[in-house]
Amino acid sequence: MAALRRRGTQVGAAKVGPDFIDPGYHRLATGHPSRNLDTFLNPPDLLASLAARACLGRDILVIEGVMGLFDGAYEQTAGDMATPARLALASTASVAVLTKTPVVLVVDASAINQSVAALVHGFATWSAEVPVHGVILNRVGSDAHEDSLRRALADLPVLGALRRDPAFAWRDRHLGLVPVAERPNEILAALQTLAGAVERSVDLDALARLAAAAPQMEAPPLPPARSSYRLRDPRDTTLGAVGGGHDHRPRIAVAAGRAFTFVYPETLERLEEAGAELLPIDPAGDDGLPAEVDGLYAGGGFPEVYGEQLASNRAMLEQVATAAGDGLPIWAECGGLLWLARALDDRPLCGVVPATATMTSKLTLGYRTARVRSDNPVAPAGKRLRGHEFHYSRLEPAGDALELSNHRESWQEGHASKSMLATYLHLHLGADPAPAERFVRAAAIWHRDRTRRHAVG
C-alpha cells in the first residue's frame, strides 16, 4: 500500500476479518481509513457495498487477507454464505469471491525451496471459485534461493520476491501488532523502509494491471442511519421517539488516545449520521469529560498497558462515575468495559461496572452471536446481534446482559442498565445502524431531561 502511494496512486485499503490493529497500519500507509470486510459481522450481500466505501475516490483497492486463504469461522450455517459451501465463512477466499477480487498469495519462503510449487499448487487448485493470479515470495534468502523458487513456480506469475531483512521485524505484543497510535513516527519510518524494498522487489505495474482487470460490480448503498436526535414530544421519553422538535445535537464523548484505539470507523460514522457530535477524549490524560456531554462511548484497546495512567487520572474517573450515577448513556466495548470496572489488576478505575478485571494468560477469541437479555441504550431486550471477542482479561462477576453463543456453547456476559451497556462484545455497524440510532436517541433524551431539570431548578 505504501509503495503504491509513493508512485502517486490513491490507495484504498481493507482488511478481511474483525481486526482493529492492521487497519491502523493501512491508514498510515495510504492516508485513508481502512475498512473491515467480514462475512460473519455483516451480511455477504452487502460486502461489495462495504468494499465500495473503502475504495471511493481511490485508484486501487488492496485487501489484506486473514490467516490462510481458506481459514475462516466455524459458525457457518445454512444460508450464511453466498459462496460455495467449501469456502469457510469470513475467510479471505469467501471475501475474494464476493468482491470478485483477484488473489495474490504471499508465501513465506524462508524454509522452503522446490516444495513451494506443491504448496502453491494446493492453494491454486483447492477451489475453482478462487483462482490464484500470482505469487509474491517473502523472506527469500539469496539470489540462488530466489532463482530456485522462480524455476519451481514456472507455471504461475511470480510478481515479486522480498528478501529477509531484520528491518522488517514488526513490533508486537499479546494481541498482535503494537497499534500505530502508540509509536506513529517509528512505525511510519519502518513503513517507508518497507515501501522502498517493495518498490525494488515487486512488480507494482503487474499488480495494478491485475486489479484493473477485476470485474466491475454493482454496489448498492448501505442503509443509512436515521437522524435520531429530534424528539417528537418533550414529554415523550421512549427511545423510539423520532420526529420534529428539539434540534440540539447530542454531544457524545469518545474514548481515544493511546489506550483506546480499537474502534471501527463505521461506528463513529453511524453515530454522526444519527445526529451526534463526537468529542474525542483521552482517559489517560484529559482532566475530565467535555462540558455538557450527553453520552459516552468507550471502545476497545489496551487499558492494561496504560493502567497506571488511567488509574492516576482521578479527576476523569470521578467525573465518569458521577455522570454514570446521574444516568448518562454509556456504551463500552472490551477495553472500555475494563476502564469502567472497579479495578483492573488491583488498580482502581471508574467503578461504574460492579465487577473487577484481571489480566490472564488465556486468550478469549472468536465470533459471537448474542441475544440481548435486558433493555439498554444500545439494543432492546430480545435483539439479536453479531460480534466478536478478543481479549486476555477476565471480569468477575461476568454479568448477564447478553447471552453469547458460538458453535459449541452459550453463556452470559456483560453489564447493562437503562443507561448503560458494557460488554466484551465488539459490534460492527456497517450493515446495521440501529445501535447507533438508539444510542443517539438515548443521548438526546438525557440532554432534554437534564435541560428540564435545570430549568425547574
For residues 238 and 235, what is the distance between their CA atoms, to the nearest angstrom?
Answer: 9
DSSP-based three-state secondary structure for 341: strand
Sheet of strand 60-64, all strands in order from the earlier edge strand to the far edge: 34-37, 11-16, 60-64
List beta partners, residue 140: 163
Residue 80 CA to residue 89 CA, distance in Å, equals: 8
Bridge partners of residue 163, in order along the sequence = 140
> Grid coordinates in use for 316?
476523569
What is 252-265 written as a DSSP string?
A: EEEE-STT--B--H
Pairing of strands 277-281, 402-405: unpaired
Residue located via cell numbers 469529560: 289
At residue 35, the 3 state secondary structure works out as strand
Return d(Cα 439, Cα 272) in angstroms, integer: 11
- Segment (H or E) for 336: helix 335-340
Residues annotated as part of the active site: 334
What CA–CA distance (Å, rounded) separates 335 from 298? 8
Radius of gyration of the chain, Cα coordinates, nearest whole angstrom: 24
Greatest alpha-carbon span in the chain? 83
Q: Collapsing DSSP states into helix, strand and coil, what is residue 125?
A: helix
